[in-house]
Amino acid sequence: MFFNSIVYFFFLGGVFTLSWLATERIKIRNFILLVASLVFYSAWDPRYLPLIITAVFITWISAGKISASSNKKTRKLWLFLGIFTALSILAIFKYASFSVTSASYFLDIFGLEPDFNTRILKKIVLPVGISFYTFQAMSYTIDVYRNDLKHEKSFLNYALYVSFFPQLVAGPIVRATDFIPQVKKQVKLDRELYAKGVILIIIGLFKKVAIADFIAVNLVDRVFESTAMMSSLESLVGVYGYTLQIYCDFSGYSDIAIGSAALLGFYIPKNFDAPFISTNLSEFWERWHISLSSWLRDYLYIPLGGSRNNTKWRTSRNLMITMVLGGLWHGAAWTFVFWGTLHGIGLVISRWLGFNRLHKERKPLPLKIFAVFLTFNFTVFAFIFFRAATFNGALQVLKNIARLEMSFVNLPITVIVAIIAGYLIHLVSGSVLKKITNFYQKIPLWIHPLLMFAFAFFLQKVAVTDVVPFIYFQF
């Protein structure tokens, strides 16, 4: 069930109606939302429903045992069990085939003849959303262990936190400290909350359908899948187009998720904040996929030692480990590992040169503009390896660009317009969004369905033939 499908909005409308009818009975409302979330997940493939239920149950039990014990060894044992369960599910379904295939490749290099039976592994399908809900379950267990959070005694509330359908499949990764208190409160649907939800959903759909899908089908996919047929100019524009595509695709999903949650009375923090105007990579990761970057910082980078009271080399090591594993989190392929490695190297160099705090210091405007230019183009270059299916495919795109052919026969003007529009939309600030929301809130209610119909008609005209899945569904 995709956010950019009619089925989803019928589903959301039904859940919206039922949950608000039960708003005065919090437990009933939460039960309705939990059932709806499990139905939403089952719509993809009901066979994988036991996975999320297992992750929820064992991490909840583990956190309860941690909370109930004052013995350090016992607490560590249950922490290990909770994390081990979540990581085992992730490892088996996401990394087992990759690990065996990689081991076979390296053994073959050294003249050994591995005899791994990979037929069963190749049949394993990556369950949708597994990277997101396992990280949420892990963070909850760790927070309880650190005494940063009290164990939630209601299994219903905890299960809803992990499986809440708006952000279940592709985030944002929500912290229990932010979400669980909300499930215990009674909220009222007012026009401000309603307007915020609707406007975010509209913006998200526009980013996804009118920008991301449009430039993907009409340019980006051709550049990466039929490289030899594209000129250098077309390939170069396609690379910048993919950077915009993944931003509009994923931030569009996040907007729809946050908007859907708002319509149901829940607040989810923003996940993107104009990342392409970053003056350095540290700032980029404060603006890009904020929920993941903050998760990696709090649960991996800082526990490794972070940068406080550390030598330059240890800080560099911690950055590299964090970003390499962050790359691997995105996908079970060496291209993703290399993408993470590139960002790790970039962060290390940025820190060594003192650029990591450039966005927090007063510097001449020309210097900051140059820094934005360098940071943006570095991220564009790294995304080539993120998008390409293989290293050879990425190198072919780079070689194609290096030929300096200026033909643009495969570069429609509509694609150029979409790319320019997308980068301009990327710059829209929170204050502008608030003004749009206020305007929508104040117009007569009878105009709302007319605007909805007009927007749906527009999307139908610009949409590609088939519903295109969100990019982060594969992670």
**Which residues belong to the active site?**
330
| Six token digits for residue 213 | 């899908």
Quick check: bond before 172 cis, omega within 30?
yes
Using CA atoms, how far apart are residues 370 and 366, in angstroms rounded to an integer? 6
Q: Cα(430)–Cα(432) distance, rounded to whole angstroms?
A: 5
| Rounded (10°) CA dihedral 181, 185, 188, 192 | -20
Specify whether the CB–CB gap between 176 and 82 falls below 8 A.
Answer: no
Tokens of 212: 């991301």
How far, in Å, CA of 13 to CA of 198, rounded? 12
Q: Which letter, b or e, does each residue of 302-335 get, where b requires 16 or more Cβ atoms within 10 Å of its Cβ?
A: eeeebbeeeeeeebbbbbbbbbbebbbbbbbbbb
Q: Which of 418, 403, 430 is nearest to 464 (CA)?
A: 418
Separation CA 363–CA 450 (nearest Å): 48
